[in-house]
Structure 1
């Protein structure tokens, strides 16, 4: 017997299952981490502040959800920047889950898109520092794998200097 999928009032698929810190679904009824509301729409400073809080808490998957919402709500000139930040968070999620290949691919993609940003950084983002962190972490994972990564490797500073 299959379990019916979670659906919202409009019939769209939703996954109401609890999730662990890395965003992996847990069994119904299990204790998971707090989920990012699906209708959360933060922009600019609010999105960076919330994404940083989630990264610092070891929840890059949830940070990705916040940054993805900012990407979709961003004005056209900023969309690729927010998309790159969402990709960074997905790359960190892959690293957290032990998927070196996925981590390298997404971190490189994020670094590449961040390198194309030309202009003042919205929300006081440290774009060059974040880009450097993503690229360096991708090279390190490519060389050494994900087994020896420290928590700070997966918690880059979106504003100000990168830790470490």
Structure 2
């Protein structure tokens, strides 16, 4: 009977040891599952942050494209205005450079709409257009009357030249 009791005690000890080992493995498995869940949650958080960052970057990119398009339109408008301002002839021709100390500078605009027919038909179209609009000449004279006389001496009325304006040159 002692042998049975001893065998039962050994069996009970083996059972307790096996249960202790099983509980230990269950706790280790629970810890592994908890670590895996923590890693999964951390990964989910990283994915969400990356998603929010991607969304923010996407919005920023869309806004940047809008700004770029608006700037391109503004640049095109500015280039068009620049082309238009360059189309205006800003040249100032010097009638002659002889002058005295008392002479003043006068800007005289001379136009000839019939320059091609009356003076020179072989000019380029842009030169003919500048004569139609009027060319500006710098004339040195004591007064406006003398400036007009100098210009009419060079550009005669019978050839179609007309003075369209006389202003004093800014100092």
Identify which of structures 1 and 2 has the higher relative contact order when contacts are C-alpha pairs closer than 8 Å and 6+ apart. Answer: 2
Is TM (by shorter chain) over 0.5? no
- How does the TM-score come out when normalised to structure 2? 0.21
